[in-house]
Amino acid sequence: MREIVVIGGGASGLAVALETKKRGRDVLLIEREEDLGGILNQCIHNGFGLEVFEEEYTGPEYANKYIEEFLKLDIDYHLNTTVLKIEKTNNYFEITMSSKARGIEKIKAKAVVISTGSYERSRGSIIMPGERPYGVITAGSAQRYLNIDGYMVGKRVFILGSGDIGLIMARRMFLEGAKVLGVAEIMPYSNGLTRNIVQCLDDFDIPLYLSHTVTDVKSGESNRLESIVIQKVDENFNPIENTAKVFEVDTLLLSIGLIPDIALLDNLEVVVDSLTKSAKINQAYETSVRGLFICGNSLQVHDLVDNVTLESIRAGKCVSDYLEKKLEKNNESIDIIPGKNVGYVTPQVLDFSWSPKELIISFRGKKKMEKTKIKVFQNNELVFEKFKQFIVPAEMETIKLDYSKLNKFDELGISLEEL
């Protein structure tokens, strides 16, 4: 029986494993790829670590800082190993995993941490009309082909969605000699970080078409993409007539969002939040199943890896507390609800059996706002308030509040108000 099994060896899983190990816990990390580091390995651009290290690193450099420490601490891990199933019995979890080296095996653990990251939304999850030629691929896949395998997926490229991966790929493909004809975003604002808009599009004169989407995909005689049509959309996202623009491209990269990968939770009775598309958690990153924790991009999609690390360290601390039986016998809990202008919130539950009295709440605004007050209410009473100059949906907000003062009955609501 292991104390903790961490699933996923990306930024989140590494941080959890390090934190729990440092606290003297027994931990095993399982990673399906042949290297630790996760998605950071293919993010060879700069911009990681400003928050944690106050210095800029590339993705692999950032990952390496943690991998080195991980190896130094001699933490147990399996590479090339895919977890197939997690089952829960009364007191422990049973994890089924598969690898070439060891076949299919089962291990038991007292606590499990899901750090499985996210997957990219593909063409199928949005309604994109047209034909289905080759050449419509997710930006992350193209990034992997480019940065890990060393191959270019296209010469003339258009990008749908202004998520950060799309923006980074616009620059990357441009620098590799591709023609990048533009980026279309269905929302009236970009979904990427402002610095990426400037550094990846503006600096290379790549046009950004806000309130536009792809309304046709065409192949010619062959099975390769030949052209796409974009159109402006109205407030209800319906295409507006006579706004069509045609682009002759061989590649359409999709950067239309990430979805937490929680496939492993399918046969556990975990309560899922339709807003985050992941498990609901309490302030200790614990799902509705006792002893099952989740953090990183498999909990909520982050825009900065630094926040993943910080969040996962906190989760690691909570898992350790859980094993040290620091929980109080207390069944009281209240819900935390996204209110006006708030897209989602984590944690969704405040569970009073958990001790540290500090509550860290992450959320995203639903729209771009200026001069905003972040307000937290309980039973119509303002319990927290903070001023924020700008709110953009692309950037996750985090607030800290002391919850020893909260009552244990009424739900907490978070809202954003423009002044």
Partner 1 sequence: MFDYIVIGAGIVGSTIARELSRYQVKVKVLDKENDVANVQTLANSAIIHSGHNPDPDSLKAKLCVWGNKLYEKMEEELSIPLLKSGAYVVAHNKTEEEKLAELYETAKINKVPEFYYLDSQEAKKQEPNISKNVTKVLSLPTTKVTYPWEVAFACMENAIMNGVSLQKNALVTKIIPNNEYFEIEVNGKQIFKTKNIINAAGVACDDIAGMVEKEVPYKVHGRKGEYFVLDKRVKGFVNHVLYPLPSDKGKGVLITPQFHGNILIGPTSEYVDDKFNVSTSFEGLDYVKTHAKELAENIPFNDIIRSFAGIRSSIESGDFYIEESKEFKGFYHVAGIDSPGLTSAPAIALYLLKEVIKIDKKQKINKDFNPIIRKQREFHSLSKEKQIELLKEDARYGNIICKCEKITEKEVIDAINGELGSDTIKGIKKRIRVGAGLCQGGYCEEKVMRLISREKNISPLDVKYDDKASKLFVGETKVNKL
Query: Residues interacting with partner 1, by CB under 8 A?
Result: 32, 80, 82, 84, 98-104, 119-120, 122-125, 127, 129-135, 138, 140-141, 144-146, 148-155, 176-177, 215-218, 221-224, 239, 250, 263, 266, 274
Q: What is the closest distance, in whole angstroms, from the C-beta atom of residue 231 to partner 1 in the complex?
A: 11
Query: Angle of helix 11-22 relative to helix 305-323, nearest 10 degrees?
Result: 40
CB < 8 Å & 24+ apart, contacts of 240-246: 244/215, 245/209
Which DSSP string corresponds to 3-63? EEEEE--SHHHHHHHHHHHHTT--EEEE-SSSSSSGGGGG--SEEE-TTTTSS-EEHHHHH
**Comparison of 215 and 283: residue with beta carbon closer to partner 1:** 215
Distances (CA, A) of 287 to 70, 341, 346: 26, 25, 11
Neighbours of 145 (CB within 10 A): 15
**Comparison of 23 and 218: residue with beta carbon closer to partner 1:** 218
**Comparison of 178 and 299: residue with beta carbon closer to partner 1:** 178
**Comparison of 54 and 266: residue with beta carbon closer to partner 1:** 266
Q: What is the closest distance, in whole angstroms, from the C-beta atom of residue 260 to partner 1 in the complex?
A: 12
Q: What is the closest distance, in whole angstroms, from the C-beta atom of residue 253 to partner 1 in the complex?
A: 12
Q: What is the closest distance, in whole angstroms, from the C-beta atom of residue 238 to partner 1 in the complex?
A: 9
CA distance 335 to 351: 9
Token digits of residue 415: 């809202």
**Comparison of 197 and 228: residue with beta carbon closer to partner 1:** 228
Q: What is the closest distance, in whole angstroms, from the C-beta atom of residue 7 to partner 1 in the complex?
A: 12
**Comparison of 144 and 375: residue with beta carbon closer to partner 1:** 144
Contact status, residue 412 vs residue 382, Cβ threshold 8 Å? no
Place of tokens 């003339």: 156
Q: What is the closest distance, in whole angstroms, from the C-beta atom of residue 357 to partner 1 in the complex?
A: 37
CA contacts within 13 A on the Cβ side of 410: 13
Q: What is the closest distance, in whole angstroms, from the C-beta atom of residue 418 to partner 1 in the complex?
A: 31
Q: What is the closest distance, in whole angstroms, from the C-beta atom of residue 263 to partner 1 in the complex?
A: 7
Place of tokens 């929302």: 187
**Comparison of 141 and 199: residue with beta carbon closer to partner 1:** 141
Degrees, nearest 5: CA angle 128-134-138: 60
**Comparison of 177 and 235: residue with beta carbon closer to partner 1:** 177
Q: What is the closest distance, in whole angstroms, from the C-beta atom of residue 192 to partner 1 in the complex?
A: 19
Burial 364-373 (b: 16+ CB within 10 A, else e): bbeeebeebe
Neighbours of 106 (CB within 10 A): 11
Task: For residue 74, give every residue at least 6 positions away whose Cβ sits within 8 Å of its Cβ, in sequence order, or none.
Answer: none
**Comparison of 49 and 163: residue with beta carbon closer to partner 1:** 163
Q: Sign of dihedral through CA atoms 361, 365, 370, 376? A: negative
Q: Using omega within 30 degrees of 0 as the cis cutoff, is the peptide bond preceding 347 cis? A: yes
